[in-house]
C-alpha cells in the first residue's frame, strides 16, 4: 500500500463549480496535512495547512482532515479558470520532518 | 512577501560532471530541505538540514549528493558525478515552523 494515495485525474469542471479533491494515507504518524498547488514546471505553492483532524477555511478553500479514516479533502468553491493547476496533498509527522507528497490531481476549470 | 529563490532555473550538464544547485531560503527560517521531482512523478524528499548538519536523508541521497550552507544566506546541493537518472526538477524548501515553503525549482538535464 502506498503511503499517500491521490487520484491523478485529470478532473475537468465548469467555472463556478465546487471542486472536491481527496487523498488517503496509511501512516498513522502523520499529524500535519497540507495542500499545495503546482503549475506546470513550477514549485509547489502552499495553499492550506492543518494540524490533526478538523476543518480549516481560507476564502474559497476548505481543508478537511479525518484521521480516523486517514482521509483528507480540499474543497474549492466558485472555481475559477485560474484555479487550473495540479493540486498536491502532502503530510508530515511534524517536528520539521520531511513532507510526503501524493502524486497530485490535475484540475482544469473550463470558462 | 518573502520567498525562496533558486538558481539557476535550468542547468544542462553531461553525465559524470559535478553540478551545484543554489538556494536562498527565507531569511528567518532555520530548517532547509531539498526535494526532487522526476517528470510526471511525485515530489520526493532528499534531505533536511538544520544547525549546519543533516537532520534526515532519504535513500535517494547517497554519497553522490552533499549539502552545504556556505554562508548566512545560501544553501546548496551538490551532485558529484551526475547520472542520466538525476534529470529532474530540484526544489529547495525552508521552514520556520511546520509549514514548508518551496522555491521555483532548478530543472536539471543530464545528457
Dihedral (Cα; A37, A40, A41, A42), 10-degree rounding: -30
Tell me what pLDDT residue B69 has: 92
Written as nine digits, the cell of A69 is: 479514516
User: Quick check: A9 pLDDT over 90?
Assistant: no
Cα A62 to chain center, whole Å? 10
User: How far is it, in rounded angstroms, from Cα B95 to Cα B101?
Assistant: 6
Rg of chain B, C-alpha, whole Å:
13
Counting beta carbons within 10 angstroms of the beta carbon of residue B48, is it exposed (0 to 12), middle (13 to 18) or buried (19 or more)? Answer: buried
- pLDDT tens, A91-111? 999 878 899 999 999 999 999
B23–chain A nearest CA distance, Å? 13
Tell me what pLDDT residue B74 has: 94
Which residue among B48, B99, B105 sits closest to A43, beta carbon to beta carbon?
B105
- pLDDT tens, A18-44? 999 999 999 999 999 999 999 988 999
In this prediction, the residues of chain B whose per-residue pLDDT falls under 70 are none
- pLDDT tens, A57-90? 999 999 999 999 999 999 999 999 999 999 999 9
B3 touching A, CB under 8 A?
no
Task: Determine the residue of chain A that is closest to B31 in CA distance.
Answer: A96
Tell me what pLDDT residue A79 has: 98
For chain A, what percent of residues have pLDDT higher than 70? 100
A94 touching B, CB under 8 A?
yes
Tell me what pLDDT residue B88 has: 97
Confidence of residue A53 (pLDDT cuts 50, 70, 90): confident
Q: 3-class secondary structure for A10-75?
A: CEEEECCCCEEEEEEECCCCCCEEEEEEECCCCCCEEEEEEECCEEEEECCEEEEEECCCCEEEEE
Residue A1 gets which letter from DSSP? Answer: -
User: How far is it, in rounded angstroms, from Cα B79 to Cα B81?
Assistant: 6
Tell me what pLDDT residue A8 has: 85
Beta strands B31-37 and B88-95, pairing class: antiparallel
Please report where in the chains the cell 549528493 appears, as a residue.
B65
Tell me what pLDDT residue A52 has: 85
Closest CA to A103 of A83, A84, A87: A87
Do A49 and B104 lie within an 8 Å CB cutoff? no
Confidence of residue A2 (pLDDT cuts 50, 70, 90): confident
| Three-state SS at A80 | coil
CB atoms within 10 A of CB B109: 13
Do A99 and B100 lie within an 8 Å CB cutoff? yes
A109 touching B, CB under 8 A?
no
Tell me what pLDDT residue A109 has: 97
Residues of A in contact with B105 (CB under 8 A): 41-43
Task: Determine the residue of chain B that is closest to A6 in CA distance.
Answer: B42
B41 touching A, CB under 8 A?
yes
Closest CA to B93 of B8, B20, B10, B5: B5
Task: Determine the residue of chain B that is closest to A92 in CA distance.
Answer: B98
Tell me what pLDDT residue B42 has: 94
Amino acid at each position: 500500500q502506498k503511503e499517500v494515495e491521490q487520484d491523478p485525474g485529470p478532473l475537468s469542471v465548469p467555472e463556478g463549480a465546487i471542486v472536491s479533491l481527496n487523498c488517503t494515507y496509511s501512516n498513522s504518524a502523520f499529524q500535519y496535512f497540507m495542500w499545495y498547488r503546482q503549475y506546470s514546471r513550477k514549485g509547489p505553492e502552499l495553499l492550506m495547512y492543518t494540524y490533526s483532524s478538523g476543518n480549516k477555511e481560507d476564502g474559497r478553500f476548505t481543508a478537511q482532515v479525518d484521521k480516523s479514516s486517514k482521509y483528507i479533502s480540499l474543497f474549492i468553491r466558485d472555481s475559477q479558470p485560474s484555479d487550473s493547476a495540479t493540486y498536491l496533498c502532502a503530510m508530515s509527522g511534524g517536528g520539521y520532518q520531511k513532507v510526503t507528497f501524493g502524486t497530485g490531481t490535475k484540475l482544469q476549470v473550463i470558462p | 512577501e518573502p520567498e525562496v529563490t533558486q538558481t539557476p532555473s535550468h542547468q544542462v550538464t553531461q553525465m559524470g560532471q559535478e553540478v551545484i544547485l543554489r538556494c536562498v531560503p527565507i531569511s528567518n527560517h532555520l530548517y532547509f530541505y531539498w526535494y526532487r521531482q522526476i517528470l510526471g512523478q511525485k515530489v520526493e524528499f532528499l534531505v533536511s538540514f538544520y544547525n549546519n548538519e543533516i537532520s534526515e536523508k532519504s535513500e535517494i541521497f547517497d554519497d553522490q549528493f552533499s549539502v552545504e550552507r556556505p554562508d548566512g544566506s545560501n544553501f546548496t546541493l551538490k551532485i558529484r558525478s551526475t547520472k542520466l537518472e538525476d534529470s529532474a526538477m530540484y526544489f529547495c524548501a525552508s521552514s520556520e515552523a511546520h509549514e514548508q515553503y518551496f522555491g521555483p525549482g532548478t530543472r536539471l538535464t543530464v545528457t
